[in-house]
Amino acid sequence: MLRSSRISVCLLVAILSAISVRQSDAGFWNSLVEFATDAGSSSENDALSFQEGVLMTRLSQDRRIPLVGLGVGHSPHRYVGALVAEALQDDKRTRLIDTASSSGNEELVAEGIVAGAERLGEKIEVHVVTKIWYTHLGYERTKLSIQESLKALEPAMQSGNVDLKVHFLLNWPRCYNNISWMNCASEEQNLPSSVKQAGPDPNQDNNAWKESWKYLEEAYLSGDYPIESIGLSNFHLHDLEQMDSFARVQPHILQANLWSTIYDSQLVDYCSKHDIHIQVYNAMQGTIGQPGRTPHAFHHVQKVANELTVATGLPVTPAQVVLAWLVQHGISVIPRTSKLGRLEENSGVVLSTIPEMTNEQVEVVAHAVEAFLSGQDMEKELHAAVTFHAVVEDLMLYWVASDGAETRIDHIRKGETFNETTYPNHLYKLYNAYNKDKYSEHRVAANFGEHQHIYIDMFDYDEVDPKLQSISERTSMAADSK
């Protein structure tokens, strides 16, 4: 039995911000197209819509932002330009880049955007989410940070091939001395004199972020800058609730880690009621990034990936299952990577080929994600089932470990069978019961939740070297009905 989960409650709230899509054999995106066509296509009231092949979601001021992006905040600087340029290409069509001023790579992001747009040879709309670090909280320091970020992004803003939309977020409400990697006093001490002179030390005022928000509002409302939206990152509910008393503009975006999105139902409910769009980071590292920590949960996600692979005819990975699960609920994702090969795998173009998940698959992934986040593995383990058939002779069955060591499993007499619970890709040897020089090897082809039958037929060992040719094998696999 699957453990009871709190996830479904939180997701029901999040789903309110997404449109309902009819069940269809087509992918989620195809269903969305059908829905949009029936509803009048490009209505500004639709939560999700397409724009030049990019899935967009609506922000509270009726502007749009891509639902799937690329995070480059912690990417090595030498890779950033190439990653961004490659991500913009048509086979990936990523139009949202997430970074932060503290990453020191905004200029590299701009260079990558310009280079990628030039390769495409056409003008494209690109969104950049960047964040103001807690050392720059306060009205004047935030003003300075925004000016520096816009200057770094200027090459993209001035490019004739780019229509740049910038989204500014406050990265943290304050520096926390109880967070090990935050060094509040030393970071303040090491700031350039220009920052210190711009405004007071925010470590002396827990509410310095409110003055930052005041400037963000002014910059956004002035229309003097290409600021598409303003928002927050890593803010708790009690800080958000304070905004009701002073903010002229409610946040358009809240960036939160996956744990907060799943477990903090009050935070998600607040965002839903105030029309604050949630972007999730850490979706990969926080879940399937450590499969050995919760192997049962990982195997369940692998099973869903296998099912979706069969449905699409294209390989679907466990990582894509988690991303598609979030996106199909209208939750924005900004997966990070430093590998060019992962850009396509995590892109909206490829995620669009994944069919809408069934209710059962949604529930399985929900429980698996909860297990990933909590570290408490799912109770039920998934296996591959194999039935060995000794058709014409007595056989000895051995399991072969990765180091080559063999473990005897059973003596299968002629005409009998043996059922083995195992894992995909495990290796077995079947010996003639009376002559160990005669054997064949069989690697498990069944995936998690599947059942494979291996029939061992008569074989002329005198004519063919048994070490070079396996015994004839007939295999059939079906979904495990257990």
Condensed to tens digits (0 to 9), the pLDDT of residues 133-166 reads 999 999 999 999 999 999 999 999 999 999 999 9
The more confidently predicted of residues 449 and 333 is 333
Phi, psi of 333 (to 5 degrees): -130, 145
Residue among 191, 74, 206, 73 at smallest CA distance from 141: 191
How far apart CA 446 and CA 423 sit, in angstroms, is: 8
How far apart CA 249 and CA 472 sit, in angstroms, is: 71
How far apart CA 404 and CA 401 sit, in angstroms, is: 5
List pLDDT tens digits, range 295-315.
Answer: 888 888 988 998 898 888 888
If you average pLDDT over residues 445-473, what whole number do you get? 60
Rg of the Cα trace of the chain? 27
Model confidence at 447, pLDDT cuts 50, 70, 90, reads confident
The reported pLDDT for the residue numbered 46 is 56
> 275: phi > 0 → left, psi -120 to 50 → alpha, else beta; which?
left
Give the least confident one: 33-37, 317-321, 417-421: 33-37
449 pLDDT more than 50: yes
Q: What is the mean pLDDT of the chain?
A: 83
If you average pLDDT over residues 356-373, what whole number do you get? 89
DSSP 23: -
Helices (H), 206-294: 208-222, 237-242, 258-263, 265-273
Report the SS3 class of residue 413. Answer: coil
Model confidence at 29, pLDDT cuts 50, 70, 90, reads very low
The reported pLDDT for the residue numbered 471 is 36
The reported pLDDT for the residue numbered 294 is 87
How far apart CA 55 and CA 321 sit, in angstroms, is: 18
Q: Supply 224's token pair.
A: 């003097």
CB 244 within 8 A of CB 74: no
If you average pLDDT over residues 436-464, what whole number do you get? 75
If you average pLDDT over residues 90-99, what whole number do you get? 94
Domains of the chain: 7-374 (3.20.20.100), 384-479 (2.60.40)
The more confidently predicted of residues 288 and 305 is 305
21 pLDDT more than 90: no
If you average pLDDT over residues 354-371, what whole number do you get? 89
The more confidently predicted of residues 348 and 255 is 255
Report the SS3 class of residue 232. Answer: strand
How far apart CA 158 and CA 155 sit, in angstroms, is: 5
The reported pLDDT for the residue numbered 459 is 52
Helices then strands, each counted (H, E), the chain: 17, 19
Model confidence at 242, pLDDT cuts 50, 70, 90, reads very high
48 pLDDT more than 60: yes
User: CA 319, 324, 326: angle at the middle one, nearest 5?
Assistant: 105
If you average pLDDT over residues 18-23, what whole number do you get? 34
Indicate the pairing of strand 406-412 with strand 395-400.
antiparallel
Residue with tokens 């015994």: 471
Cα 253 versus chain centre, distance: 18
118 pLDDT more than 80: yes
Integer CA distances (angstroms), 54 to 21, 95, 126, in order? 18, 8, 11
- The continuous run of DSSP H or E covering 399 comes out as strand 395-400
Give the least confident one: 59-63, 204-208, 430-434, 468-472: 468-472
If you average pLDDT over residues 91-118, what whole number do you get? 96
* Residues 7/8/9/15 CA torsion (nearest 10 deg): 110
Residue among 105, 113, 124 at smallest CA distance from 86: 113
423 pLDDT more than 90: no
285 pLDDT more than 90: no
The reported pLDDT for the residue numbered 462 is 42
CB 304 within 8 A of CB 357: yes
